[in-house]
Structure 1
Amino acid sequence: MPAPLSVVIPTLNAATALPGCAAALMEGVEAGLIRELVVSDGGSTDGTLEVAQGLGAVVVSGPASRGGQLRRGVAASLGTHVMVLHADTQLAPGWGEAVAGHLPSEKAGYFALRFDSSGLPARLVAGWANLRSRVFGLPYGDQGLVLPRALYDAAGGYPDQPLMEDVALARALKGRLVRLDGVAVTSAEKYRRQGWLRRGARNLWTLARYQFGASPVVLARSYRR
């Protein structure tokens, strides 16, 4: 019987980050969990495609849009279950056991968030993310998502939008999201570059605007400025 899990990673110029993300997945390969790696690229120019091909990934290409890339990636996958990860996220050791225990469930699961950075700002931002996920049921994409394909399809899948696609799917999965006993360690590079307070406040403001009905296209333009 084929392994159950298809791992889908959206990429855009992720040649540096992708090998580390993939290396952390070997635990699942060795445990017989992972059937395939699907890399859904949005037009990388830095060698991401060559790295993905070297990893033996199924490569899907299309316009750069996180939601659209994820939608195409999941559509191209074959597993009975899907695990979505960001390229700059690495699962901490022990994740395989947590996922294996979750697979019989009919719910979606996400990981606790931690940054690859020490210090109070990193702990505070990660703490807020974990609180938001637990209390409001809104895990972001950098926390990973594991779910049965049937549940993904029933929820309508990822919308083809450039921002907040993870929040949109989390809304559709309301009441069917649980925290897994594992940790997703994500890069703090953008926070270090832009400032923890500034980026954290911008993320919170973007979420608030989206919750009040702002267009993801408009939010994406503002977010990337």
Structure 2
Amino acid sequence: MPNLSIIIPTRRVGPHLAPCLHACRCVFPGAEIIVVVACSGADPVRPAELPRPPGPLEGVTQVLYATTGRGPQCNAGARAAAGELLLFLHDDSILPRQAAVLTKSAFAEDDAELACFRLRFDDAHWLLGLYGWFSRFDSLLTSFGDQGILIRRRFFDQLGGFPDWPLFEDVELLRRARRRARVLKLPGEVTTSAVRFRRNGVVRQQLMNAGLIMRYLLGVAPTRLAELYERGHR
């Protein structure tokens, strides 16, 4: 398997990172782990310009700061990464135990360019289970960054990286990728937080998500979509 760099964008450093980082260390003990912390301002900030933040960062290789938004943060992490294979992972996502075996198998062939895991939520609600079941299929409506995006660096660079968007940067990257390669779906489940579904209601939250995707497809600016998203989660 190619050398792996795991890139985790986050809004802040705190105890919420511990489960994600622990799983990364256990599943990929030799991987480079890069945490990219959101920083207000127009331009990315070099690591040396800010102190290393406190928090549960054991095993983290690098801590970077970048303009707030998953797009800019993921791109900053990719620029600093040394791995031939990149894994972009949300800070509330926990890798499956078999992730290393599945990754090695999927990328054994040189023509495999990118892959996602399936998704499950940390809540037993039957609708969330149904949403997770559909994540075994790749489509505009079933593949997102919370499943983890594994991609060869060379292919990532060819695609121009993520757009510097605060929302739907993952959807756009995968849209570009599908024009040139197949998005593999690995038979392991990343576990992610259902806190927004519990807070807003499972059906209501899913309708909100669907509405945002429709606006995205109709050409609404990602910055505007991010505003609507944040307003719906206050």
Scaled by the length of structure 2, what TM-score is found? 0.85
Shift of 1:14: 5.0
Q: Alignment identity in percent? A: 30
Residues 3 and 109 of structure 1: is their aligned pair in 2 closer, same or farther, counting only changes over 3 Å? closer
Shift of 1:82: 0.3
More helix by share: 1
Residues 135 and 166 of structure 1: is their aligned pair in 2 closer, same or farther, counting only changes over 3 Å? closer
Does the aligned pair in 1 maintain the 2:5–2:85 contact within 8 Å?
A: yes
Does the aligned pair in 2 maintain the 1:28–1:96 contact within 8 Å?
A: yes
Shift of 1:164: 0.3
Scaled by the length of structure 1, what TM-score is found? 0.88
How many residue pairs end up in the alignment? Answer: 216
Structure 1: how far apart are the matches of 2:33 and 2:133?
30
Structure 2: how far apart are the matches of 1:100 and 1:55?
22
Partner of 1:60: 64
**Which amino acid is 1:124 matched to?**
L
Partner of 1:23: 22
How does 1:173-192 map onto structure 2 within 5 Å? Answer: 173-174=177-178, 175-192=181-198
Shift of 1:66: 1.1
**Which amino acid is 1:208 matched to?**
M
Shift of 1:54: 3.4
Q: Secondary structure at the match of 1:42?
A: strand
Could you tell me which runs of 5 or more consecutive residues in structure 1 were left unpaired when the two chains were aligned: none
**Which amino acid is 1:153 matched to?**
D
**Which amino acid is 1:41 matched to?**
V
Does the aligned pair in 1 maintain the 2:15–2:56 contact within 8 Å?
A: no
Deviations, residues 68-121 of structure 1 (Å, cap 9, x unaligned): 111111111110110110010001211110011122343200000000111212
Partner of 2:47: none
Q: Does 1:13 align with 2:15?
A: no
| RMSD (Å), alpha carbons | 2.1
Structure 2: how far apart are the matches of 1:15 and 1:190?
19
Stretch of structure 1 that moved more, 2-11 or 211-220: 2-11
Structure 1: how far apart are the matches of 2:131 and 2:28?
31
